[in-house]
Amino acid sequence: MVLLILLLFTVTSDGQAQRVLGLKKDDSCVCEVNSTVWSFPVVKYETVLQQVHTCEGSMNSLAEQLKISSQRLPQIQAQVTSLTARLGPYKYLHNQGLYSALSLRLLGQQLSQLETDVGVVHSQLNNAQTKKLSKEVVKLRTHVDRLETADLVNMKAVKEKLRYLKNNVESCKSIPKDFRGQDRNCLKGLITSISDPVTTKLSPFGKSYISGSWGKQAQMENEDQKYSYWIQPLETSHIWGTTLRVYQNYEDFMASTNHKDFTFASSYSHPNAIEGPSAVLYGKALYYNCYRSADVCRYDLETNEVKRVTLPGTGVGFNNKFPYCYYDCRLNSDIDVEADETGLWALYATLGNHGNLVISRLVWDGETKTLNVTQTWETRLFKKAVSNAFMVCGVMYATRYVNEYQEEVFYAFDTATGKEDNSLAKRLEKVAKGVASLSYNPTNKQIYMYNDGYLLAYQAHF
C-alpha cells in the first residue's frame, strides 16, 4: 500500500486553501476532509443575487423610458419644425430691418382714418376746436412723412399724440353742446368725496356667491319703478350666470321679499349667458358681457329678447384676458358695463391699446331695435393695474386695492375733454377683501359695490 500525499484545495470561510493527506487503497485514493472548515458563502450569494435583481429592474425601467422617449420624439420634432416655421417671418423681418417700416405703415393707416374723421367733424361743426384739431392733424401728417424717410426714434411720441387726437375727435363727435348742463352735479366737476356705506346687506343668495352685480335701475327718465332694485349673482364657478332677481322697492330688497326672477339663458354655457360681474339694469333691460365673447348683450325684461353688439378694437380682451386685478384678479371681469347721467358705457382693454383701458359709449336704438357703439376712447391706464372702475357724468373713475377693508379711487378720465387725472385719493370702506363690481347710479348719486357676497352702497358728493 503506497501512501500518497494528495493536495486537495478547498476554500474555507476565511478564504484560505485546505491541504488534505490521501491513502491509496484498492486502486482508490481515500482521504478524509474536515468539512467543518468549509462553508458555502450564503450571505455573499444572497447579496450578489439581490444586485442581479436590482440591475434587471433598472434595465427594465431604462428600456421603458427609452420606449416612451422614442414615441415622443416625433412629436417633439414636429413642435420644433412648427416653431421654426413660425419664427421664420420674424427672423426675416429682423434681418431686413422691417419692424420700423411696418410700424410706420400702421401709423400711416391710423392717421389717414383720423384725417377722415376730423374732416367729417369739422364740416359738421366748423368751430374753433375743430379748426385746431385740423391744424394738429396736418402737423402730425408732416411728422409721420418725415419719419418714413429719416427719424425713427420719435415713433412712441407720435403714437401718443395720435391717441390724444383720436380721443379729442371722439369727444367732439359725441358730447352734445348742453352736456354739462344736463345734470347740475356734473357742472361741479369731479367727485369731491364718497361717504361711508349707507347700505350694508348680505346677498339674498348667501355669502358663498362671492361674485356678481347689484344696484338700482339706472335710467334717469324712467318713471316706472316696477324693476327698482336688482341683483345678478354668478352661480357657476363665480364666473357665469343665467338669472336676474328684481325688487319693486327698497324695503322689499332689504327684507329679501316679494322678488321676481328672470332667466335669460338656459345654461351657463349658452351664448346669452352672462360672463363676469359686468351687469347693469338700465330701464327695462339688463346689459352685460355675453358668454365667452367680445359682445355686450341686452336682455329685455318685457319681451325676453336678447340683442348684442361687438365691441370695437384690435384684440378685445374677454374670457379672462384682461380682468380687473391690482391685488387679486377677479375672474373674467374683462368687460364692464356701466351707466351714468349720459347713458351706457363699456369698459374693457384691447391688445391694440396694449392692455390699457378702453371706453366705448353704447346706445340702444328703440326704432331699429339695435344696440350700437357710437364712440371709443383709449386711456393709458393698464387694466390689470386696476381693481375696478365706474362712470359718473361721462368720467371714468378707477380704483385700486389699499387693504382688506379699503379701496381707493385714484384715477379719472374725462371723455368730454380727453384729459386724465391720476392724483385722486377717495377711500371706499368695505367689509370683505374682494371687489367683484362697482357701479354708479345717476338717479340717487350712489355707488354700488358687490363685496365678496356683501352688498354695499355709498353716497357720492360733488
pLDDT, tens digit, 9 for 90 and up, residues 22-60: 777 777 777 776 665 556 666 777 788 788 878 877 788
DSSP calls for 215-227: EE---TT----TT
Which pLDDT value is given to residue 53?
78
Which pLDDT value is given to residue 74?
65
CB 433 within 8 A of CB 449: no
Q: How far apart are CA 161 and CA 165, in angstroms?
A: 6
127: cell is 368751430
Q: How far apart are CA 25 and CA 263, in angstroms?
A: 114
Which pLDDT value is given to residue 390?
97
Which pLDDT value is given to residue 446?
96
300: cell is 329685455
Closest by alpha carbon to 346, among 383, 305, 380? 383
- Domains in the chain, CATH or no CATH each: 44-174 (no CATH), 193-461 (2.120.10)
Which pLDDT value is given to residue 288?
97
Chain-centroid distance of CA 27 in Å reads 102
Phi, then psi, of 279 in degrees rounded to 5? -85, 155
Q: How far apart are CA 451 and CA 211, in angstroms?
A: 8
CB 16 within 8 A of CB 2: no
Q: Name residues of the chain where pLDDT drops below 70.
A: 1-20, 33-42, 66, 69-108, 122, 143-184, 222-226
Q: How far apart are CA 128 and CA 108, in angstroms?
A: 26
Which pLDDT value is given to residue 7?
47
Phi, then psi, of 365 in degrees rounded to 5? -95, 105
3-state DSSP assignment of residue 313: coil
What amino acid occupies position 169? V
What amino acid occupies position 258? N
374: cell is 357710437
Q: How far apart are CA 439 and CA 36, in angstroms?
A: 98
Q: How far apart are CA 292 and CA 313, in angstroms?
A: 17
**C-alpha triplet 294, 315, 380: angle, nearest 5°:** 105
CB 415 within 8 A of CB 388: no
Across the chain, how many H-helices and E-strands are there?
A: 5, 27
